[in-house]
Each structure stands twice: as structure tokens, then as C-alpha cells.
Structure 1
Amino acid sequence: MGLKVMLVDRDAERSAVLEQTLKEAGHRIVAKLREGEDLAAQVQRHQPDIIIIDMEDPGRDTLEHMREIGRDQPKPIILFSDRRDSDYIQQAVQAGVSAYVVDGLARERIMPIVEVAVARFRELQALRDELVEAKTQLADRKAIDQAKGLLMQRKGLTEAQAYQLLRKTAMDRNARIGEVARLLLSLENVL
């Protein structure tokens, strides 16, 4: 199944090469934007699978739009540019660019670049998801330990009994045990 692609380019000739190559590969162009449009709002509106930006000299506004997309609605972003400034390239990568391509837009290079950018983005997203899950598990464990200690102190329970009470409460409420532990701790702070 093809990708839904958003193109950003002010040069109609370059954009036509990109568009034709992508369509021939089975992808669909869902939006064509000019430089300066609110990229984040257009991404929200069109929900592309990938964003391809082709600009000779992208500016700070473009970077800010990419940061906003990376933060709020992550998508693979390919940036074709003539700008060789290593500081800017570093900022672009930090802003969420999956591929930064200098030295023009060669038709035969487009699809391999798209494929690598999408694969790199997916791998990075999987790592981010794993990190979020690990942080959540760590926070849950800390909250559970604190809640067990509170129950042991207040109700005179053993550690096993305190854990069983948390677990039963979580099951009764159809919630995660970490959520129940955090709720108990927040109620203790209020009282």
C-alpha cells in the first residue's frame, strides 16, 4: 500500500519530478504546499504518512514547524536542501528530520531515500515507545513501593498483603496497579 505524501516546495519543476516519481511508485500526494505555509496545521489537516520538503535554503520557521510536528504528530520528514551548514543540519535532525539530502534531487535517488527515511523513522519511534514504556514501568514500581509502605504503616499489613490490596483494587476498578498506587499516594497527600 502506498504512502500518503505531503510535498513542500516552491519550485514547480522540482515538485513535478518528486510528484511523478512518487506516483509511479504507488504513493499518493495528499497535499502540495509552498514554503511559508503553516506546516503543522496542514499536517494535522491532511494526515500524511511522510513529509517531503524541497527547499534551497530552509529557514528557522521551517525548523520550528518540523519541531512542532516531531513533538505533536511525529512523521518521517525528508528535507532536500542546498544548505550545507553543519549546525543547521544538526538542528534539522534534532527537529525530527529523518533524512537530510544535499546536492540536488536526482530522480533515481528519491525512492531509496524515502524507503530509508521511513525505516529509520519507524525504528526511532519504536525506540521512543520502548523508552516511554520503561519510564512508565519504573514510575509505576516506585509508586507501588511507596503505596505498599503507606498501607503497611497505616493498616498494619505485611508487604504481600499491601500488594494484594493494591492489586485487588486495581482489578476491581479495571485500572493499572501503578495508577491505583499513584491515586492512593495523592489522596494521602491531600489528607
Structure 2
Amino acid sequence: MPDQYAKTVTLALTGASGAQYGIKLLQSLVAANCRVYLLLSEAAQVVLRVEAGIDVPQALAEQQVFMATLCGATEGQLQVFGAKDWFSPVASGSSSVSSVVVCPCSGGTLSAIANGASNNLIERAADVALKERRQLILVPREAPYSEIHLTNMLALTRMGAVIIPASPGFYHAPSTIEDLIDFVVARILSQLGLEQSLIPPWGEAPSEQ
């Protein structure tokens, strides 16, 4: 029986600044009819509250309902997993996950993934993507980058991961913060092979409304 979803994506939000990127990406993945396995670090929940005014419930069951409502997911489209849920699909290479995105990706998570730490489910999901030669996209938000950050990014790029810094461009003439968020999210969606209408491709004029 064919899968009803376009693809299955694991999306992890960590404690780097830029929670809005992760939320917009989550909403866009749901709108693109993807099944999403969502992982939220404790630090990510703090950043969501501070930067986006999103107060995520502490109980996992309540998180599930809250996040599904936030992104408009249909029943079964979104699943939220805890940091130590080693029996979740994202913890094994035999799962149906096609891509893993960490957005935003903290320096600590970047380091842990580069060194195969797998101390929590976010790190394990990324580790599985690397060992299975699946798509891994990391979206760091830091400035300036230290030699440690750059070394880890280079190492992960050589392992097959794609690094997309949360560094929006300005050639699309942004006029709002949302336009800047959309720029980065559009690049991620394009890497995932998903059609997006947030930003017109280079050389193409935006469609008239």
C-alpha cells in the first residue's frame, strides 16, 4: 500500500537562537503533506518561549496535541518523541525516515553529531542518517564561528551532511522579518526536494497575486 505522505522527515529543534525558522519549517513540511517526527530539546523549548512566545507543555502527550494544533497537522501526520525514546522510529536505521533536519542547530549539537555522541534522540537521529547515508541537513545559527564550529561543519560536510547557515539573503527585497525567515526555510525545502512558494527561484519573478 503506497504511503499517503510525500516523505517522512525528522525535524529537531535545539537551543540555538532562531526558533522561528524551526516553526516555519514545521508548518511548511505539514503543508507539503510530509509525515514529521518532531524532536524538541529542553533548551529549544526555552528559546521557543523567549523568542516566539510559544510556551510548549512539559508532558509529552500535551506537547503532541499542542504542536499538531500549532502547525495544522492532520491526525497521525505529526509525532513528537522524547529525548530518551530509544524505541522511536528515528532511533533505528530500519525506519522509513528519509531526511533529518536540525533547525536551528546549536554549536553543542553540531559538535555531538560530528563526534558521534548519540547522548539523546536528536543526536542519535542524526547519527542514523549519517550511517545510513540518508539526507542530513543542519542549520547552525551562530556568530562568529569559532575554529571548533568550522572544523565540525567541515567534518560533517565530508560525511555527507548539508550545512545551511541561518543566513538569509536580501536579493528578494525582504520587507518583514517573516520574509527573512522564509528565505532560509525555502532553501531547506529545496534541499529536501519539496516544492515551495515562499521565495521564487533565482531568475524567476514572483507570481502576481
TM-score range, shorter chain: 0.3 to 0.5
In the superposition, the TM-score normalised over structure 1's length comes to 0.48
Bigger share in helix:
1
- Highest CA radius of gyration, 1 or 2? 1
Q: Which structure ranks higher in relative contact order (CA pairs < 8 Å, sequence separation ≥ 6)?
A: 2
